[in-house]
Chain A
Amino acid sequence: MSLESLMGGPLRVVNLGLELFAEELRAEGAEVVHVDWRPPAGGNPRLARLLEGLEELDRWED
């Protein structure tokens, strides 16, 4: 469904990261929600990976 809507309908975008991309997409008429993203685990990639592993475990257990 999502792939067909991407190629055949208007873009509805969640933007994470450079806000510039959200600004440009809005200017093109796309519906955009920009996420005020911040690095997880205080910006520590090693801690973030550990967190990611725990989250994956959670999903698996669900």
Chain B
Amino acid sequence: MALRSIVLPSFYQDSVALMRVAQALRGGEGVREAAALMGTPSNHGILAQAGLASAFTEKAGPNDLILAVLADSGSIAEEALAEAQELLFRRRAPAVPGTAASPRSLDAALRLLPGANLAAISVPGPFAKREAMRALQSGLNVFLFSDNVPVEAEVELKREALARGLLCMGPDCGTAYLNGTPVGFANVVPRGRVGIVAASGTGLQAVACRLAGLGEGISHGIGVGGRDLTARVGGAMTFLALDLLKRDPRTEIIVLISKPPEAEVLAPLERTLAEMGKPAVVCCLGAKPPAKSTARWVETLEDAAQAAAALLKRAPWAPRPFSDPEDVRSRLARLQGGARLGSLLGLYTGGTLAHEAHLLLEPLLGRIPYNEERGDSPHRIVDLGDDAYTVGKPHPMLDPGARAEWVRRAGGAGEAGVLLLDLVLGKAAHADPAKALSEAVRAARADAAKGGRVLHAVASVVGTERDPQGMAGQIRRLEEAGVEVLPSNAEACRFAALLLEPELAGRMPEEAS
């Protein structure tokens, strides 16, 4: 076994580019382990843990790129490193030979693209405010994907945006649809009559996809970031976005997706919705609907899509726990073997889906720790896209490997009886996320069986047939690995709860046998 590494000084690469290089390195024959990382303090820890650190790599700073390979022989490792370097230098070359290389600053880019109307910013959090502020001050709207941005910076940015009449979508904004063009993580959905304002990327994706399934499309989808309806931020971008949709002739109905608005923001929000002149559906996950509202308040993302579609069709609608109770009954009959299944482990890549699961399941199963150790509760839900799990790493929607590891661990020594999962498709997401997930589920189920345990996996898929990954194929892959795929996250949660505690059927009226 031989360890080889190189350090490329001042060779910054984004986390997705690094992931691609690391994957190429690991794919080589005879390569046991490999890494492509910037030399930040936390990355040095990761290298040490993986057995890839050396006195040489330790000298690398945060702007220096480390490539390290552990392989069967020195020559294999050296060859892999040479290939990785070639891949990196090819990426750095101009797209069209003879043209200038990419500009190095926003100002230089604006000289190349006069009339630019949007800056898409996904630099690491500590540097995001600086770039976003410059973009706003240059008269650009901002789509700010970066997370780990302090709330004080968000307040300043949004104040600047408002003063200039610009949108600052984010921080932590994953998805937008602007005049029909998807930005960030977005599914291929039709253009239509529903305008969405969303404090959450996966929330926007989930509702847009379900609307597509119901034959409706979206006019615009405006992301505002998860903290917009807090008192600190004051709904700055939500109110601007609602005003845009109010004036937009294409938009016939509004859907607002958020965490519960803080009290200071709720009253002005209600006033604004009442003055829209268009019907509104509000899905503030975890909020108690106000006693009187002109808007239709719903509890889940699925219900938001259903309610909006019904309003457009002027059809009556009421929430239901399952869209196909008969199918649910027969699945439960097939899976429930009499023995208690143990605990629930929710492993999510979509933050809002994880949050929704937590809200739906705590009233059914009791306290469930969220993004923390289990403590005294048997259950646990983890949002692997949370800031805490993504520092220096690509989001789990881009790199399914991290979640697959968690799933595998749930097999052998784990105590889980039911894994609750999401799978988010669409542009910018991984090309085949179901592959890594289904392989991990297979392995975990086999390991659990060896230990005499039953391990079920329940999932929902956010996507459309027109997504690059194709919805039907991804569902098939999961089902072949024994995953029960439900039509929405809410249904998957209720189904998981019923698997664990069949007597809960009595609390879901339609399911009482």
- A residues bordering B, Cβ < 8 Å? 1-3, 5-22, 24-25, 27-31, 33-40, 42-45, 48-49, 52, 55, 59
Of all chain A residues, the one with the shortest Cβ separation from B102 is: A36
B105 at the interface (CB under 8 A from A): yes
Collect the chain A residues with CB atoms within 8 Å of residue B183's CB.
Answer: 11, 13, 21, 25
Assembled-state Cα–Cα distance A20/B12 (Å): 15
Of all chain A residues, the one with the shortest Cβ separation from B15 is: A18
Of all chain B residues, the one with the shortest Cβ separation from A35 is: B109
A43: min CB distance to chain B, Å: 3
Assembled-state Cα–Cα distance A17/B428 (Å): 14
Of all chain B residues, the one with the shortest Cβ separation from A38 is: B12
Q: Given A21-B120, A38-B12, does the pair A7, B179 have CB atoms closer than 8 Å?
A: yes
Assembled-state Cα–Cα distance A53/B16 (Å): 30
Q: A24-B427, A25-B183 are in contact. List 18 more A-B contacts (CB 8 A).
A: A2-B139, A2-B141, A9-B179, A11-B117, A11-B179, A13-B119, A13-B120, A18-B14, A25-B120, A25-B181, A28-B181, A35-B102, A36-B92, A37-B14, A37-B131, A39-B124, A52-B130, A55-B130
Contact pick for A48, options B110, B119, B130, CB 8 Å: B130
Question: Does A21 contact B110, Cβ atoms closer than 8 Å?
Answer: no
Contact pick for A36, options B104, B179, B244, CB 8 Å: B104
Contact pick for B106, options A12, A16, A20, A59, CB 8 Å: A16
Question: Does B123 contact A37, Cβ atoms closer than 8 Å?
Answer: yes
A42: min CB distance to chain B, Å: 5
Q: How many residues of B contact A (CB 8 A)?
A: 61
Question: Does B123 contact A16, Cβ atoms closer than 8 Å?
Answer: yes
Assembled-state Cα–Cα distance A39/B333 (Å): 56
B127 at the interface (CB under 8 A from A): yes
Assembled-state Cα–Cα distance A52/B17 (Å): 27
Assembled-state Cα–Cα distance A59/B146 (Å): 25
A18: min CB distance to chain B, Å: 4
Question: Does A20 contact B139, Cβ atoms closer than 8 Å?
Answer: no
B91: min CB distance to chain A, Å: 8
Question: Does B167 contact A31, Cβ atoms closer than 8 Å?
Answer: no
Collect the chain B residues with CB atoms within 8 Å of residue A22's CB.
Answer: 120
Collect the chain B residues with CB atoms within 8 Å of residue A52's CB.
Answer: 129-130
Question: Does B146 contact A17, Cβ atoms closer than 8 Å?
Answer: yes
Assembled-state Cα–Cα distance A17/B102 (Å): 12
B178 at the interface (CB under 8 A from A): yes
Q: Given A6-B167, A48-B126, does the pair A14, B109 have CB atoms closer than 8 Å?
A: yes
B341 at the interface (CB under 8 A from A): no
Question: Does B182 contact A28, Cβ atoms closer than 8 Å?
Answer: yes
Contact with A along B85-113 (1 / 0, CB 8 A): 00000011000000001111110111011
What would 11 A/B residue contacts be, using CB atoms closer than 8 Å?
A: A1-B139, A7-B178, A9-B117, A12-B115, A13-B183, A14-B116, A14-B119, A15-B119, A21-B122, A27-B427, A39-B12
B232: min CB distance to chain A, Å: 21
Collect the chain B residues with CB atoms within 8 Å of residue A27's CB.
Answer: 427
Collect the chain B residues with CB atoms within 8 Å of residue A20's CB.
Answer: 14, 16, 398, 428
Contact with A along B389-409 (1 / 0, CB 8 A): 000000000100000000000
Assembled-state Cα–Cα distance A9/B180 (Å): 10
Question: Does B120 contact A35, Cβ atoms closer than 8 Å?
Answer: no
Contact pick for A43, options B12, B91, B109, B182, CB 8 Å: B12
Assembled-state Cα–Cα distance A49/B150 (Å): 13
Assembled-state Cα–Cα distance A49/B128 (Å): 11
Collect the chain B residues with CB atoms within 8 Å of residue A3's CB.
Answer: 141, 165-167, 244
B61 at the interface (CB under 8 A from A): yes
